[in-house]
A and B are shown apart, each in its own frame.
Chain A
Amino acid sequence: MSEPASARPLADIEAQAAAWVRRRHFWDWSDEAQAELDAWLAESISHRVAYWRMESGFARTEKLVALRDPASEAPQTARRFPVLMGLAAAAALIAVMGAGATRMMLHPQDRIYSTPVGGHERIVFADGTKVELNTDTVIRARMTTDRRVVWLEKGEAYFQVKHDAAHPFTVMVGERRVTDLGTAFLVRRDEGRMELAVVQGRVRFDAGTAHQAATLTPGDVVTASGNTVLESRKSDAALQSELGWRRGVLVFDNTTLAVAAEEFNRYNRQKIVITDPAAARLAMVGTFPIHDVSAFTDAAEDIFKLRIENQGSEIVISR
């Protein structure tokens, strides 16, 4: 077989695109290297297309981190990627955000910390600030002498910030900005939605364009989704329930089974599925160990006389 007349060295281009991705993520990256890459990309649309595909595809392989065995980690130490891994998370973020997302600049000081489903990590930064990562969470941190910034890429984190007026501590959630004014607060991000709850001290919240910044105090909760920003109040008890994961428990107070199942599913690989809509609306009160799915389903069985079927990767609740 002879090659078609139009044969082009795609294999070469793809290999080069893969090599760029590899250099960028696994080797020292510099302004010179970036300039070289930019020049290569400017050469032809073939290069750009191959590189865009490779880079955004590679960013999605970040999911593989979920396969990491949490038991193999030393306690009290969060996972630390080498410097350049920050870019992968940034690219993943762009892939998630889609339109309007602009290329993020990678900073040599960036560090990525992440937890798999069911994970829980505590990080203590050099300035004394503590961050606890809940299940399935990725943050990027840039702690330099003049700036302290953490990007919550996904998931949920509880911050106890060492206040330093000269060096404000900022958490970015997409374009929304949370600035510490001496405080402890909880930030959660899933899909396009974020929730901020202030536990102690004061926090400044800036929803980005078209919204005024506000200063929040303990009990203040802000939920932002799309262009909507809602403010509400939570009692101390409700806040402590929400922080139950820090103690390894889920606290339900007049919570529907649907919501409770959703909470369990955040932390466990075995997923609870409720097939009966009426059962999903039943409300319950209780505190459960975060990984004890069967304690929850047993309770549903005993209290509501529901049928529980363990199918391996799923536990199905029906009538």
Chain B
Amino acid sequence: MAETPEHNRENTEPCRSGAGMTASEVEAWFIREVLPLEAALTSFLQHNWRNKADIADLRQDVYERVCEAAYGQFPENTKAFVFRTARNLLINRVKREHVVPIEAVSDLDALGIALDAPGPESSVLARDELRRLQTALAALPPRCREAVTLGRIDGLSGREIASRMGISEAAVSMHLDHGIRVLVDAVYGAPEDSRRKT
């Protein structure tokens, strides 16, 4: 796997010293409380950032920041914290890059209303999940869909998929990697236009 040099990063130490949460506690919290907000967070970022190509990147940035903070202490209101982090991130980006995103201000202000009440997002994962997965699966390129179907639905291993489809194991890996990313996006219920191209 390729190395990923860590440049331009602030606060990326993997382990905080002193009191705080363990990685598995942060992981459990992140999965339970943050990931269900992904659809709402993605819409929010899309509303407030012109360049759609940046959205996944911004989302990841928000996740990193909230998880870093969570190593010290879990926020009382995760949803408010996540969206506040997203807003601050956007504001900093605007300042740093001297770009002015459209519609930014109004949504950022309106956001205050939604922060405290637990929103319908909390259930977005479960709702229609199978339908979203089905749609995403159907939209995959045919060979990729075949590999994913054999692997995920019929339960074959990578090697078995390769021999069944008569392709190399490297090709199977490529199909599976793409399929995994598309299906995972579908699980989190990302709005259509933020989905990666297939």
Chain A residues within 8 Å of B, Cβ to Cβ = 1, 4-16, 18-19, 21-22, 25-27, 40-50, 52-54, 56-58, 60-68, 79-82, 84-85, 94-95, 98-103, 112
User: Does B165 touch A at the CB level, under 8 Å?
Assistant: no
Alpha-carbon gap, A47 to B160, bound state (A): 29
Cβ contact of B93, chosen from A4, A44, A47, A102, cutoff 8 A: A4
- Count of chain B residues near A, Cβ 8 A: 60
A64–B152 touching, CB < 8 Å: yes
Which has the most chain A C-beta neighbours within 10 Å: B29, B32, B157, B184? B184
**How many A-B contacts if CB must be within 8 Å?**
167
Cβ contact of A49, chosen from B51, B60, B157, cutoff 8 A: B60
**Minimum CB–CB distance for B141 against chain A, Å:** 16
Q: A12-B2, A15-B177 given. 7 additional CB < 8 A pairs?
A: A8-B8, A14-B181, A40-B1, A61-B187, A64-B152, A82-B156, A82-B160
B4–A19 touching, CB < 8 Å: no
User: Does B12 touch A at the CB level, under 8 Å?
Assistant: yes
Query: What are some 8 contacts across the A-B interface (CB < 8 A)?
Result: A7-B57, A12-B4, A15-B177, A44-B9, A48-B23, A48-B27, A52-B31, A61-B187
User: Does B125 touch A at the CB level, under 8 Å?
Assistant: yes
Known A-B contacts A44-B6, A45-B12, A57-B183; A4 and B68 likewise in contact (beta carbons under 8 Å): no
A16–B2 touching, CB < 8 Å: yes
Residues of chain B within 8 A (CB-CB) of A12 are 2, 4
Alpha-carbon gap, A13 to B129, bound state (A): 25
- B73-90 interface with A by 8 A CB criterion: none
CB 8 Å contact bits of B6-18 with A (1 = contact, 0 = none): 1111001011000
Residues of chain A within 8 A (CB-CB) of B153 are 64-65, 67-68
Alpha-carbon gap, A79 to B35, bound state (A): 31
Interface 9-residue window, one of B103-111, B112-120, B130-138: B130-138
- B134-162 interface with A by 8 A CB criterion: 134, 137, 151-161
Alpha-carbon gap, A92 to B56, bound state (A): 24
- Binding site secondary structure of chain B: helix
User: Does B45 touch A at the CB level, under 8 Å?
Assistant: no
Cβ contact of A63, chosen from B1, B29, B64, B130, cutoff 8 A: B130
Known A-B contacts A48-B27, A67-B134, A84-B157; A6 and B181 likewise in contact (beta carbons under 8 Å): no
Residues of chain A within 8 A (CB-CB) of B133 are 61, 63-64
Alpha-carbon gap, A1 to B134, bound state (A): 35
Which has the most chain B C-beta neighbours within 10 Å: A14, A66, A68, A100? A14
Known A-B contacts A26-B157, A52-B31, A67-B134; A60 and B187 likewise in contact (beta carbons under 8 Å): yes
B35–A56 touching, CB < 8 Å: yes
B180–A99 touching, CB < 8 Å: no
Cβ contact of B97, chosen from A4, A16, A45, A54, cutoff 8 A: A4
Top 3 nearest A-B pairs by Cβ distance? Answer: A57-B184, A81-B155, A26-B158
- B30-83 interface with A by 8 A CB criterion: 30-32, 35, 51, 54, 56-57, 60, 63-64, 67-68
**Minimum CB–CB distance for A29 against chain B, Å:** 11
Residues of chain A within 8 A (CB-CB) of B96 are 5-6
Alpha-carbon gap, A13 to B3, bound state (A): 9
User: Does B173 touch A at the CB level, under 8 Å?
Assistant: yes
A60–B129 touching, CB < 8 Å: yes
Q: Specify the chain A residue showing the minimal Cβ separation from B132.
A: A63
**Minimum CB–CB distance for A213 against chain B, Å:** 28
